[in-house]
Chain A
Amino acid sequence: MSLWRNLYRGETEFDFVRHRRRFFLISATLIGISLLSLLVRGLDGSVDFTGGAIVESPNQAEVDVAEYRSELASIGREGARVQIRTERDQSETVVIQTEALSVADRNELVNTVAAVAGVDTNDVNINSVGPTFGSEITRRAIEALLIFLVVVAGFITWRFEWKMAAGALAALFHDLIITAGIYSIVGFEVTPATVIAILTILGYSLYDTVVVFDKITENVHELGTRHTFTEIANLSMNQVLMRSLNTSLTSLLPIGSLLLVGSYLLGAATLREFALALFIGIAAGTYSSIFVASPLLTEWKEREPEWQRMQRRVARRSGETVLTAVEAASASATEARSTGATPRAPKKRSQRR
Chain B
Amino acid sequence: MNRRPLWISLILILSLAWGSAAAMLGAGWEPKLGLDLQGGFSVVLAAPEGIDRPVLDQAVETMRSRIENLGAVQEPEISVQGDRRILVQLPGVEDRERALAAVGTTGQLSFRPVYDIQVISPAFLDGTLPLPESLAATTTTAPPGDGGNETTTTTTTTTTTTEPPVIPDDIDPETGLSLDDDPTKNVYLQDDGGLFYALGPAFLTGADMTGAEPGFSGVGIGSGGGWTVDPAFTAEGGTKFEEATAILSTFPSGTPGRQMAIVLDGSVISAPQIAESVGFGEALPSDSVVITLGTSDDAQQEAEDLATVLRYGALPTTFERESEGSVSASLGSDSLRAGLYAGGAGLLLVALALIAYYRALGVIAVLGFTVFGSLLMGTIVLLSRTQGTTLTLAGVTGIIVSIGITADSYIVFFERIKEEHRRGRALRPAVDYGFKRAFHTIVTADTVTMVGSVLLWLLAIGPVKGFALTLGLATVVDVVVAYYFTRPAAQLMVRSRLGEGGALSIRGAMGRPATGGVAT
Contacts and interface: CB of A to CB of B under 8 A. Distances in A.
A199 B471 CA distance: 10
Nearest to B39: A83
Contacts of B447: 155
Interface in A252-307: 252-258, 260-263, 266-268, 270-271, 274-275, 278, 282
B311 to A, nearest CB: 17
Do most interface residues of chain B lie in helix, strand or loop, or is the interface mixed? helix
B423 A336 contact: yes
Interface string A179-211: 000000000000011011101101110110011
A93 interface: yes
Nearest to A59: B328
A178 interface: no
A261 B335 contact: no
Contact of B456 (A69, A148, A337): A148
B332 A261 contact: no
A153 to B, nearest CB: 10
B377 to A, nearest CB: 16
A346 B435 CA distance: 12
Interface stretch (A99-107, A112-120, A132-140): A132-140
A200 B474 CA distance: 12
A211 B339 contact: no
A251 B449 CA distance: 16
B452 interface: yes
A249 B349 CA distance: 10
B353 A261 contact: no
Contacts of B411: 243, 246-247, 250
Q: Select the residue from B77, B353, B462 with max chain A CB neighbours within 10 A.
A: B462
A147 interface: yes
Interface stretch (A37-45, A84-92, A311-319): A84-92
A65 interface: yes
Q: Is the interface on chain A under 10, 10 to 19, 20 to 34, or 35 or more residues?
A: 35 or more
A261 B357 contact: no
A251 B401 contact: yes
Given A243-B415, A257-B346, A262 B471 contact: no
Contacts of A140: 459-462, 464
A200 B419 CA distance: 29
A134 B79 contact: yes
Nearest to B429: A343
A152 B350 contact: no
Interface stretch (B107-115, B208-216, B240-248, B402-410): B402-410
Q: Interface centre among A192, A195, A278, by most B CB within 10 Å?
A: A192
B51 interface: no
Nearest to B406: A250
B448 A144 contact: no
Nearest to A8: B511
A333 B423 contact: yes
B337 to A, nearest CB: 7
Given A148-B455, A196-B463, A9 B511 contact: yes
Sorting the interface of chain B by its residue count into under 10, 10 to 19, 20 to 34 or 35 or more gives 35 or more
A219 to B, nearest CB: 11
A9 B400 CA distance: 30
Contact of A200 (B350, B437, B471): B471
B341 interface: yes
Nearest to B349: A253
Interface stretch (B80-88, B146-154, B493-501): B80-88
B423 A54 contact: no
Nearest to A326: B422
Contacts of A87: 323-325
Contacts of B437: 218, 346
A108 interface: no
A155 B451 contact: yes
B92 interface: no
A144 B455 contact: yes
Interface stretch (B18-26, B195-203, B271-279, B391-399): B391-399
A253 B425 CA distance: 33
A84 B436 CA distance: 55
Contact of A341 (B87, B349, B426): B426
Contacts of B518: 333, 336-337, 341
Contacts of A282: 404
A242 B61 CA distance: 48
A275 B400 CA distance: 10
Given A84-B327, A195-B464, A246-B357, A127 B81 contact: yes
Contacts of B118: none
B282 interface: no
B60 interface: yes
Nearest to B393: A270
B455 A151 contact: yes
B227 interface: no
A134 B405 CA distance: 30
A275 B325 contact: no
Contacts of B64: 136
B424 A336 contact: yes
Given A134-B79, A275-B397, A268 B338 contact: yes
A196 B418 contact: no
Given A203-B471, A206-B449, A341 B520 contact: yes
Nearest to A128: B82
A257 B345 contact: yes
A214 interface: yes
Nearest to B408: A247
A192 to B, nearest CB: 5
B330 interface: yes
B441 A214 contact: yes
B232 interface: no
Contacts of A145: 456
B338 A65 contact: no
B346 A54 contact: no
A193 to B, nearest CB: 5
A254 B81 CA distance: 38
A271 B397 contact: yes
A63 B82 CA distance: 26
Contacts of A254: 342-343, 346-347, 349-350, 400-401, 403-404
B432 interface: yes
Interface in B10-51: 36, 39, 42
Nearest to B464: A141
A332 B61 CA distance: 61
Contacts of A329: 422-424
A211 B445 CA distance: 7
Contacts of B357: 246
B444 interface: yes
21 contacts: A11-B422, A64-B332, A65-B331, A82-B330, A86-B328, A127-B81, A129-B82, A144-B456, A155-B451, A193-B397, A203-B405, A207-B405, A214-B444, A246-B415, A250-B350, A250-B411, A254-B343, A254-B350, A266-B342, A267-B338, A341-B518
Please list the 6 inter-chain residue pairs (A to B) with the smallest Cβ-Cβ separation, ordered nearest first: A254-B346, A251-B404, A130-B80, A333-B424, A343-B433, A144-B459
Given A93-B323, A130-B60, A262-B339, 15 more contacts: A84-B328, A85-B326, A95-B327, A129-B79, A140-B464, A196-B467, A203-B453, A203-B471, A211-B441, A250-B404, A253-B353, A257-B342, A258-B339, A274-B397, A337-B518
Interface of B: 36, 39, 42, 57, 60-61, 64, 77-83, 87, 323-332, 334-335, 337-339, 341-343, 345-347, 349-350, 353-354, 357, 393-394, 397-398, 400-401, 403-405, 407-408, 411-412, 415, 418-419, 422-426, 429, 432-433, 436-437, 440-441, 444-449, 451-453, 455-456, 458-464, 467-468, 471, 511-512, 518, 520
